[in-house]
Amino acid sequence: MKQETGPETIQRVLSAYELGRKLRQLRLRKKIALADLGKHTGLSPSMLSQLENGKMIPTLPTLARIAMVFDVGLDHFFGDKRGQKLFSVVRAQERMRFPERPDAPDPSYSFECLTFASQGRGLQAYLAEFPYRAPSKRGEHFHDGSEFLFVLDGALAIRFQGEDHELRTGDSVLLDSSEPHSYRGLEKNGARAVVVTLPPRI
């Protein structure tokens, strides 16, 4: 199977929003011709036609200009599809690996997003790798909501409210992620885990 490139992945994910179809529906509802829409947006009719037919993906500034003409927010284009139930497959070869922070010289973990193709999801899931780190290199972080972690293999130390908790293969934990917490691998080969973050309850 041919591996998908980064631009191809972005193209596929954005195509799922059907931006062209939504743009065409807006234009027809307002009864505006392509030439007239071009005058209002400063975009050529041929470009607008390609956008509507899905032959070109609009940039965010282009989409913002179009949205202003129709007096809608950008959420009109990126909202949930009505009448469709959530179902999203992410292939292993499509995932991209990121460090804890782009500027971190020695990240305490790296992750791959398992749900990047989903729209309107309330949770986020990651495959995370935690390299071995000494206790002195512990780095705490926090964010709104809750966090669930399931250890796939290896040994992992989680520090929460000043206490260290050791987790091994098959162990799991659910925590309030608004409290400062940190992770570090305990063994030479580190640890791998599935991490699911949940937004705060309203």
Residue 45 belongs to a domain with what CATH number?
1.10.260.40
The alpha carbon dihedral of 60, 62, 65, 68 has a sign of: negative
- Domain count within the chain: 2
Regarding whether 173 and 140 lie in a shared domain, the answer is: yes
DSSP 9-43: HHHHHHHTT-HHHHHHHHHHHTT--HHHHHHHHT-
What count of other Cβ atoms lies within 10 Å of the Cβ of residue 185? 20
**Which region among 50-54, 64-68, 76-80, 89-93 has the lowest average model confidence (pLDDT)?**
76-80
**59-93: b (≥16 Cβ within 10 Å) or e:** eeebbeebbebbeeeeeebeeeeeeeeeeeebeee
**Which region among 19-23, 51-55, 56-60, 99-103 has the lowest average model confidence (pLDDT)?**
99-103
Mean pLDDT over 98-108 rounds to: 82
Mean pLDDT over 75-99 rounds to: 74
Where in the sequence is the domain holding 74, given as residue range(s)?
18-78
Task: Please state the pTM of the whole predicted model.
Answer: 0.61
Q: Does a structural domain hold residue 98?
A: yes
Q: Is the pLDDT of residue 87 over 80?
A: no
Q: Does a structural domain hold residue 99?
A: yes
Regarding whether 131 and 101 lie in a shared domain, the answer is: yes
Q: Is the pLDDT of residue 104 over 60?
A: yes
Q: Is the pLDDT of residue 83 over 60?
A: no
Regarding whether 102 and 193 lie in a shared domain, the answer is: yes
Residue-level pLDDT at 103: 76
Our measurement of the distance from residue 61's CA atom to the centroid of its chain's CA atoms, rounded to an integer in Å, reads 20
Regarding whether 54 and 97 lie in a shared domain, the answer is: no
The span from the CA of 78 to the CA of 158, in Å, is 36
> Each residue of 135-183: pLDDT tens digit?
888 778 888 899 999 999 999 999 999 999 999 999 999 999 999 999 9
Which residue, 78, 104, 126, sits at the end of a domain?
A: 78
The span from the CA of 84 to the CA of 52, in Å, is 21
CATH of the domain at 124: 2.60.120.10
Mean pLDDT over 10-15 rounds to: 74
Percentage of the chain beyond pLDDT 90 is: 35
Residue-level pLDDT at 202: 55
Residue-level pLDDT at 194: 97
Mean pLDDT over 38-51 rounds to: 90
